[in-house]
Amino acid sequence: MLPGTSANATVLDSATRDRTRVLLLFSLSGRLRPRDTALGALVDRYDYGRFASHLMTSQDVLPVPVLDEQIAPRRLRLPHGDHGLGLASLRILVVTTPRGDATLVVDCSFAGETTAGDLAVWLATTCFDRERIELDDRQLPQTLAARLGGRPLALGQNVHQLVFPGGRLQRELLSADEARKAILLNEIVYRGRMPWNPATPYDASLAPHVRNHGLTLSALGRGVSVQAGWAPHVENGLVLVAVGMISALSVLQRTRLAAFAMMKANEQALTDSPTEIRSLISRLSAGVNELQLDLAFGVEAYVDSLLIPEMVTEAFQSSLRDALGIRDSLENSARMVERLTSVISARSAALDAELAERDDRRDRTVSGLVAAATLIALPPTLLLAFFGVNGTNVDEHRSILDMSAYGTAYALAWLPFVVLVVIGWLLLRRVSTRSGSLLPAPDDAFAPVPPPRSPSGNRRP
């Protein structure tokens, strides 16, 4: 049982939390391939209660922990101080998917009571100034990189903050009237950047998505989720869902950029070398294959309820997926990759057609040269054979160029071939100038068009 929760947390899906818990999820740029460590599977790092059986069957799909450390709270420093919210515990995890998409998880619990206003400022600082968060007097990514073998790490663009209110804040959220509850949730979900005015008309596009079940409450925004009254194992399940969504969103953004880069590479490729064109097509095809794997195993694997098929988590997963716009982005990215595949296939087909035409022209040229050489060589061969025969018509004292003596032999040797060339030229000319279309004409020049119908359904006269 986690500290700060009541004794019935291991039995029920709802519980009373004494301390507010916040989990910060940051995507990490680049790829961090999972490796064999002593940390084991992600299902072993947290208590998932009755959800554990689902996760055990999906271990090969789940993110893998590559770093898990309990940190003394004083070692973490925010750029503008802690805003009066002292930490009671701090845990840092780095998890990475089988495709190498890494997410940083900062698990915090506060020592004292938390107010919505202080919590909103703390959330804003850890989101908008996250690049300036320090751990052990160094920027957080640098410290993490040192613990992971020195590979450079950087915080990505995607952030989600899960708030599990405790103490007085939890009781107030669960028991306050709707107006007061809306003010508190609006301040937390929008990190204090969107003042709430109860007198203004209700705007569903600005208000947090709220589900109130009496003992529990869920309020959702794109960057912050407030989950009150849940037991620790449900909280951990919600965290796992959010990690998958943040990872999927990062993959979609990377896929989109990679697709544009391949499009530019295809457009800017200027070469007449078939070898270079084949190399380009091979690189583009390999890149498209990677994009398709990313969409399948980096996005689609985390956007449905198959990992934890429970109603408790399905509602949160569906709401967060819609808030992040993952489904529409996935469909658009899939279409982009599909069309990029079509472009690559078309370019490959065009290259094959061009090479086939070039080979055909080369074969025709070689055949023509061979035929011409044969045609030219036959008459001299016949003449040389004639002069090489010791016949009575050949006088050894006369030159073979003496036309008065050998004109008839030259005429008999060259005349048939000259006639053959003239006849062939006439036949080719006749074929090339022959009238008519290569495609048969349709039976009717125009298809009959029926007369328009009147609004009553009868044909006009």
Provide the domain limits for residue 161: 21-230
Q: Which residue has the higher pLDDT, 380 or 25?
A: 25
Single-letter amino acid code for the residue at 292: Q
| Predicted local distance difference test score (pLDDT) of residue 2 | 46
What percentage of the chain has pLDDT greater than the value 70? Answer: 77
Identify whether residues 175 and 204 lie together within a single domain. Answer: yes
One domain for residues 225 and 250: no
pLDDT at residue number 438: 43
Does some domain include residue 121? yes
| Beta pairing class for 21-28 and 102-110 | antiparallel
What residue type is assigned to position 461 of the chain? P
3-state secondary structure 302-369: HCCCCCCCCHHHHHHHHHHHHHHCHHHHHHHHHHHHHHHHHHHHHHHHHHHHHHHHHHHHHHHHHHHH
Sheet harboring 102-110: ordered strands across? Answer: 64-71, 87-96, 102-110, 21-28, 155-164, 224-228, 217-220, 209-212
Q: Are residues 179 and 288 in the same domain?
A: no
Residue at which a domain ends, from 306, 340, 356: 356
Residues 201 and 288 in one domain: no
Do 315 and 188 share a domain, yes or no? no
Quick one: average pLDDT of 329-355?
A: 84
Last residue of a domain, one of 203, 230, 257: 230
- Shared domain for 215 and 295, answered yes or no, is no
Residue 75 and residue 164 in one domain: yes
- pLDDT band with cut points at 50, 70 and 90 for residue 120: very high
Q: Which residues contact 178 (CB under 8 A, 6 or more apart)?
A: none
Same domain (yes/no): 280, 183: no
Q: Do 200 and 107 lie in a common domain?
A: yes
Q: Flag whether 158 is in a domain.
A: yes
Checking if the pLDDT of 337 tops 60, the result is yes
pLDDT beyond 90 at 409: no
As a whole number of Å, the CA-based R_g of the chain is 39
29 domain-assigned: yes
Q: Is there a domain that residue 447 lies in?
A: no
Residue 429 placed within a domain: no
Residues 185, 141 share a domain: yes
The answer to the question of residue 438 being in a domain is no
Q: Are residues 92 and 200 in the same domain?
A: yes
Q: At residue 450, does pLDDT exceed 60?
A: no
Domain count across the chain? 2
Average pLDDT, the chain: 80
**What's this model's pTM, rounded to 2 decimal places?**
0.74
Q: State the number of CA atoms in the 13 A half-sphere of 266 facing the CB.
A: 23
Of the three residues 230, 256, 287, the one that is the final residue of a domain is 230
**Residue 384, pLDDT above cutoff 70:** no
Does residue 353 carry a pLDDT above 70? Answer: yes
- 52 in any annotated domain: yes
- Do 127 and 73 belong to one domain? yes
In a domain, 185, yes or no: yes
Whether 460 has a pLDDT exceeding 50, the answer reads no
How far, in Å, are 4, 16, 113, 204 from residue 7 at the CA level?
Answer: 10, 9, 20, 37
pLDDT at 56 over 80: yes
Backbone angles phi, psi at 44, to 5 degrees: -90, -10
The set of residues, in sequence order, having a beta carbon less than 8 Å from that of 55 and lying 6+ positions away, is 42, 43, 48, 62, 240, 307, 308
